[in-house]
Structure 1
Amino acid sequence: MMMNKEIDILICGAGPTGLTLALVLAQQGVSFRIIDKMKSPFHGSRGKGLQPRTLEIFEDLGIVQEIMAAGGSYPPQREYQDDGSWQEAPTAEARSPTASEPYLTPWMVPQFLTEDVMRTRLNELGHQPQFGCELIGLEQQEHGVIVRIAGKDGEQSLRARYVVAADGGRSFVRNLLEIDFPGKTLGVRAVVADVSLQGLSRDAWHRFSSSAPERQIGLCPLAGTDMFQIQAALAGDEQPDLSADGLTRMVSERSGRTDITVVAVHWASMFQMHARLAQRYRVGRVLLAGDAAHVHPPTGGQGLNTSVQDAYNLAWKLAAVLAGAEENLLDTYEEERRPIAESMLGLSSRLLEEARRGEMRRGREVQQLDLGYPESSLALEIPARKHGPLAGDRAPDAPVTTRSGAPQRLFELFRGTHWTLIGCHVPRGHVMKARGLHVHLFGEEGNLIDSNGSFQDAYALQRGDWVLVRPDGYIGAIVASDNLDAIEEYLQRAGVVG
């Protein structure tokens, strides 16, 4: 068995979670390897809804334009009654973007297209997943993990500083570490399938039998493709025929229509819905992310989005520790992300019950813009604030102007792997300098102008205040100018100063 050279990170799983982690690590210059036991990339639509916060992350990763081009907006829900009449309602609450929230509508992109965009960007950065390769064993040591992997070239052993398990709800790594995965089976079975069909228009998400939970069926046109996604509840131990003929019969029986024909099945899956949360996210140098750490019912489009944000939270912390930050920085990953997953489990389960009653409209609660880490040990406020965003909250966007008069957005200044420190009417002589820290100032001596007041509206800072934005776009600290040394201590802890 061959021993390869040491790498910093081994990522097990090349779905959206692993790919997000890989993209950030590639930007940070961290050495890693990303493997997946599947022989080829996933080709289904499973996680098709991208929430506004995830779109903000994709903007930061430099792929949002490609993601938007790959998909489209959600069509309205068209509910058919038994007599053939129907009513129509928006799938999501229609809201226009604002200065502080540039994305306010979920965007439909079939998962296989999302992953394709992510792999393309990763390849541009000089990396690619290795499919048909899986972890089969590991041994933790003081300064690394010896892992055994098996692929088409046989078994090999390598040493990684850290291992991230992004290998799904049935995670081999989580089971290997004997991490409990408590929760419950929700008693709901369903089919999801990507099909080509005839007989339905693409201007609506067609839903039938909404009054009978175990006979519900939806046919949604998949943006970016000429396919439809079929979603159908299953009764008891029903074993459906997932062929084109079988799905045609199911559609006919549940819709009462004989003019809809499934002509081809491109991908199909039958699954049991669960709500489960890992007891721990970390054992030594091995960490869980995405579905390996939590599984949700698909209602509300929370699973993929929560997973992407797990990876986005973890990636900069791994890079910081590898660059010299204290290792206990990694403890804040579970501290911050596990409560988010727990709340998402409750939300998804509630939305599942609403869906079974035929209620499908979704509002701000699914957009993930209001999620944050105000209780985190990484949230610093001196003095405590009574107005505006708090330390730990998502850092709002805002249009500003450079001193030369050029338009700029805060998100453009945040983009990348660095920390951002913003001073509000502070003397330039007080500006600290540190590796990986970008500093911007508003005021007489500054480089930015709040030309229309959007920055002040979004942040509600006092003269002399400083706001520190983390690499993942959350506010790390807000302090008054006479407490600037607290930010320096904070950055030392995060490995930025030192």
Structure 2
Amino acid sequence: MSSTDVLIVGAGPTGLTLGIDLARRGVTAQVVERENGLFPGSRGKGLQPRTMEIFDDLGVYDAIRAAGGTYPVGMIWRDGERAGEHRMFDPVGTDEDSPYTEPCMIPQWRTQRILLERLEELGGKVAFGRKVTGLTQDEEGVTAHLASGDAVRARYAVAADGGRSAVRRAVGIAMTGEQVDPGPMLVADVRITGLDRDNWHLFPPRDGVDGDGAGGDILAICPLAGTEDFQLITRFAHGTEVDLSLDGIRRVVAARSHLAPEDVTEVRWASDFRPRAALADRFRVGRVFLAGDAAHVHSPAGGQGLNTSVQDAHNLGWKLGAVLREGAGASLLDTYEEERRPIAAQMLSLSTGVHRGEIRRGAATRQLGLGYPESSLTHETRTAPGPLRAGGRAPDATVDGVRLFDAFRGPHWTLLALGMPAPDIDVPVRTVRGPAHDSYGTGLFLVRPDGYVGWAGDTAAAGLPEYLTRFGPRRPPA
């Protein structure tokens, strides 16, 4: 039986992000994936600005940006003629505190490849073709049983194995949700001729339905940045059997656009699904945690699922590292569900609203306004807080010549002393000193490793030492 500190089940964006975060903290983690390789499709192609900030922290931003691109303007077609443009997102102004304001388009398979390369740079790896068939736990750890007959013993396990999570079922956690749309949807990566790559091509429904049931809903064909592929997505009437073959997809394209069947030259990946919104009743049982789609299943509209999943991993990673390597109390892990489950519920509501046309893509879908003001890890001690309160996302800024996102990058805590002296702290905290700043105001701000303000005060005497003793970093054991 092999052993590890953390067993991560699933090598999607969630599992790979968590693996990277743990590797840079010196935590031994084993990532197992039931498939023989990475997910091959473009499905989660939109990375929101908050996720780009996390990828900056993890050291993959440059690679993601180089491989991706911006979202193209929607082009509406009617009867083979261009009939107008559609802006997918409400505009958001740029400012210093949010350097990444627009979503990045990059196929999910490419995002995962970049994450895997980063994991391997840090000494981690993924064991492919390793299917978990059962899991038991006790007071000391978790034992996962594999289809090969092997077993893995870990101090903690994380289910990052998707919406049909075998680990979630093994520990008996139910999901509560609703069907967002009764009709099945088709998503496919195709090679296609006859369309430019400068626009997201939108074909509104024609009158009537053709004989094979292909008509009756919008067809969207989007060029995938950095590739020769297009992502095709459309919806069918309830009860339709979706044909994923080349001929089947050609029929749909011909029925719903001015394109000829032979304009679709290749299907590189295809899947059908029924949009659903569901939330796990719990995010933790004992030493087993749920993250990503194993914990929450979204409609793809609005691009919230993958992004919320990456943020789950970023939240859990530093807490596991603190417990396993820095001597923090195990109760710190209780805050994972406390913080992430309400956020997931909020994002599920947002995704469903976008899917149903009730909410426009805009500031909310960028996820920069999310935070943990009600968390037990959040301590706001000022009687008159400035523009930023404890629990909020720590914005970017330049303070006395130091870019804050550069100072935050890495697996450490950061203390900002703005407009006041910095106290001496006998724990490994990076300190940045400077004048008051418009985005922060004046005060002391203790920024967690995941980029949120844990404690804020006018003076260290207002509880900073006590906070650090309970939640903050500690020197690793000798």
TM (norm. structure 2) is 0.94
| Number of residues of Structure 1 aligned to a counterpart in Structure 2 | 466
Mapped contact 2:92–2:362 kept (Cα < 8 A)? no
1:380 maps to 379
Cα distance in 1 for residues equivalent to 2:377 and 2:57: 21
Cα distance in 2 for residues equivalent to 1:36 and 1:344: 26
**1:490 Cα offset (Å):** 1.2
Mapped contact 2:190–2:269 kept (Cα < 8 A)? yes
1:174 aligns with 2:195: no
Cα distance in 2 for residues equivalent to 1:12 and 1:185: 26
Counterpart of 1:147 in 2: which secondary structure?
A: strand
1:119 aligns with 2:116: yes
**1:362 Cα offset (Å):** 2.0
1:346 maps to 349
Cα distance in 1 for residues equivalent to 2:261 and 2:155: 58
Cα distance in 1 for residues equivalent to 2:238 and 2:273: 13
Specify which of 441, 449, 454 is matched with residue 460 of structure 1.
441
- Give the aligned residue type for 2:22: L
1:250 maps to 252
**1:245 Cα offset (Å):** 2.5
- Superposed CA offset, 1:242-298 (max 9, x none): 222321221111124438711000000011111000000000000000000000000
2:212 maps to none
- Give the aligned residue type for 1:396: P
- Superposed CA offset, 1:25-52 (max 9, x none): 0000001100010111111000000000
Gaps in structure 1 of 5+ consecutive residues? 402-406, 443-449
1:288 maps to 290
Mapped contact 2:327–2:474 kept (Cα < 8 A)? no
Cα distance in 2 for residues equivalent to 1:335 and 1:147: 26
**1:89 Cα offset (Å):** 2.6
1:412 maps to 406
Bigger mean CA deviation after superposition, 96-105 or 284-293: 96-105
Mapped contact 1:100–1:396 kept (Cα < 8 A)? yes
Q: 1:257 to 1:137 in 2, by over 3 A?
A: closer
2:158 maps to 164
**1:482 Cα offset (Å):** 5.4
Matches within 5 A, 1:40-189: 40-82=37-79, 84-95=81-92, 97-150=94-147, 154-186=148-180, 187-189=182-184
Cα distance in 2 for residues equivalent to 1:368 and 1:409: 21
1:481 maps to 459
TM (norm. structure 1) is 0.90
- Give the aligned residue type for 2:192: L
Cα distance in 1 for residues equivalent to 2:395 and 2:223: 33
Mapped contact 2:185–2:272 kept (Cα < 8 A)? yes
2:395 maps to 396
**1:95 Cα offset (Å):** 3.9
1:447 maps to none
- Give the aligned residue type for 1:60: D
**1:96 Cα offset (Å):** 5.0
Mapped contact 2:205–2:256 kept (Cα < 8 A)? no
Mapped contact 2:308–2:344 kept (Cα < 8 A)? yes
- Give the aligned residue type for 1:290: G
1:433 aligns with 2:433: no
1:192 aligns with 2:192: no
Counterpart of 2:357 in 1: which secondary structure?
A: helix
1:14 maps to 11
Bigger mean CA deviation after superposition, 338-347 or 203-212: 203-212
Counterpart of 1:388 in 2: which secondary structure?
A: coil
- Give the aligned residue type for 2:465: E
Mapped contact 1:251–1:260 kept (Cα < 8 A)? no
Cα distance in 1 for residues equivalent to 2:224 and 2:379: 43
**1:193 Cα offset (Å):** 0.1
Cα distance in 1 for residues equivalent to 2:244 and 2:153: 43
2:203 maps to 208
Cα distance in 2 for residues equivalent to 1:140 and 1:390: 39
**1:149 Cα offset (Å):** 2.2
Cα distance in 1 for residues equivalent to 2:381 and 2:461: 7
Mapped contact 2:382–2:457 kept (Cα < 8 A)? yes
Q: 1:296 to 1:379 in 2, by over 3 A?
A: same
- Superposed CA offset, 1:409-447 (max 9, x none): 10000000000011124345x321203x112222xxxxx
Mapped contact 1:326–1:495 kept (Cα < 8 A)? no
**1:324 Cα offset (Å):** 1.4
- Give the aligned residue type for 2:319: K
Counterpart of 1:299 in 2: which secondary structure?
A: coil
1:312 maps to 314
Bigger mean CA deviation after superposition, 86-95 or 46-55: 86-95
Q: 1:257 to 1:159 in 2, by over 3 A?
A: closer
- Among all aligned residue pairs of Structure 1 and Structure 2, give the percentage whose two residues are the same amino acid: 48
Mapped contact 2:251–2:261 kept (Cα < 8 A)? no
- Superposed CA offset, 1:123-170 (max 9, x none): 1111111110022222211121122223xxx32223211000000000
- Give the aligned residue type for 2:97: S
Cα distance in 2 for residues equivalent to 1:395 and 1:164: 27
